[in-house]
Amino acid sequence: MRKPFIAGNWKMHKTIEEAVSLVRALKKELANVEGCDVAVCPPFVTLPAVREALEGSDIGLGAQNVHWEDEGAFTGEVSPLMLVGLCDYVIIGHSERRNVFGETDEWINKKVHAALAHSLKPIICVGESLEQNRAGETEPFVGGQVRAAFEGITAAQAKLVTMAYEQIWAIGTGLAATGEDANEIIGSAVRGTLADLYGDDVAQTMRVQYGGSVKPQNVAEFLSQPEIDGALVGGASLKAPDFSEIVKKGLAAHLKQ
Ligand code: 13P
């Protein structure tokens, strides 16, 4: 059985002070939770303070983006080398990076290579738009995103990657997919593509999160599905009681399977 993994993507929220107070609360609320990997992904500028505040806790830390070069004339970017020793994980290819900031499949692949070369564990996001879903293009589109992200990545490296399937119209809208729909798409387009690339044994070891309007009220619907190993939580990860409840309810639903 794959160990569940629930991560909070804070996006562009929280000052340093607010970030520290949120993780202090999470440390307390999640102190006795075992059997689930948990991570928070705050904005870059708060990472050092959050790292310090997390000392003595099992909560992991992730960045929300990374450049692929170690250094250079790339104004406004943060390199993988700068994240070494600071983060365990890095989110790559979030739909907001793809759609608002124009990140391409090729860039995302370069970022995956760079992260793995620096022992940062990627959380690679994929997902289709509402139009693509309605046009029946979900499987080829999401499958294509997975193939492109893993170009040149070995099976041993792939095992270090977590996938996050986030339907674009479910993000921040309250319109989550049904557990069954998400399970089916993850099984075919995400894990199915990974099995084509690396074989079933490798694909079965890799964790796939669902993301998009995950809340304490609906997390069990997703984590009780056989193909869904966790959640990537946006809005509901910004409040300690909500995120803690998501972790506890999600873990309980996963264990009941
Ligand atoms: P919401 O949970 O706010 O819908 O965001 C999901 C997401 O984009 C996580 O990466």
Q: What is the DSSP letter of 234?
A: S
Separation CA 29–CA 51 (nearest Å): 17
Q: Show the tokens assigned to 75.
A: 């104004």
Helix (H) or strand (E) segment spanning residue 198 = helix 192-198
Atom of ligand 1 minimally distant from the CA of 235: 3
Task: Give the residue, out of 213, 217, 237, 238, with the most ligand 1 atoms within 8 A of its beta carbon, to mutate for a pocket test.
Answer: 213
CB 164, CB 232: distance < 8 Å? yes
C-alpha closest to that of 70 among 118, 119, 102, 109: 118
pLDDT on residue 177: 83
Positions in the chain whose pLDDT score sits under 70: none
Which residue is it, tokens 């406004």? 76
* pLDDT on residue 78: 98
List, for residues 20-36, the tens digit of each pLDDT value.
Answer: 999 999 999 999 999 99
C-alpha 95 to ligand 1 mean position (Å)? 10
pLDDT at res. 175: 81
pLDDT given for residue 172 in this prediction: 85
Q: Which atom of ligand 1 is nearest to the CA of 172?
A: 4
Distance CA 192, CA 147 (A): 11
Closest CA to 232 of 6, 2, 56, 51: 6
Ligand 1 binding site (Cβ under 6 Å of any ligand atom): 9, 94, 166, 171-172, 211-214, 232-236
How far apart CA 124 and CA 108 sit, in angstroms, is 8
Please report which helix (H) or strand (E) contains residue 256, including its range.
Answer: helix 240-256
Distance 96 CA to ligand 1 centre (A): 10
User: Inter-axis angle of helices 105-117 and 138-149, to 10 degrees?
Assistant: 40
- Distance from the alpha carbon of residue 216 to the mean position of ligand 1, in angstroms: 13
The two structure tokens encoding residue 90: 């890095």
Atom of ligand 1 nearest to the CA of 215: 2
Q: What is the pLDDT of residue 257?
A: 85
Give the pLDDT score at 31: 95
Residue 237 alpha carbon, nearest atom of ligand 1: 2
Q: Has 94 been annotated as catalytic? A: yes
Contact residues for 55 (Cβ-Cβ < 8 A; gap 6+): none
User: Is 151 assigned a catalytic role?
Assistant: no
Out of 6, 171, 218, 238, give the residue to mutate to test ligand 1, the one with the largest number of ligand atoms within 8 Å of its CB: 171
Point out the catalytic residue in the list 96, 166, 221, 227.
166
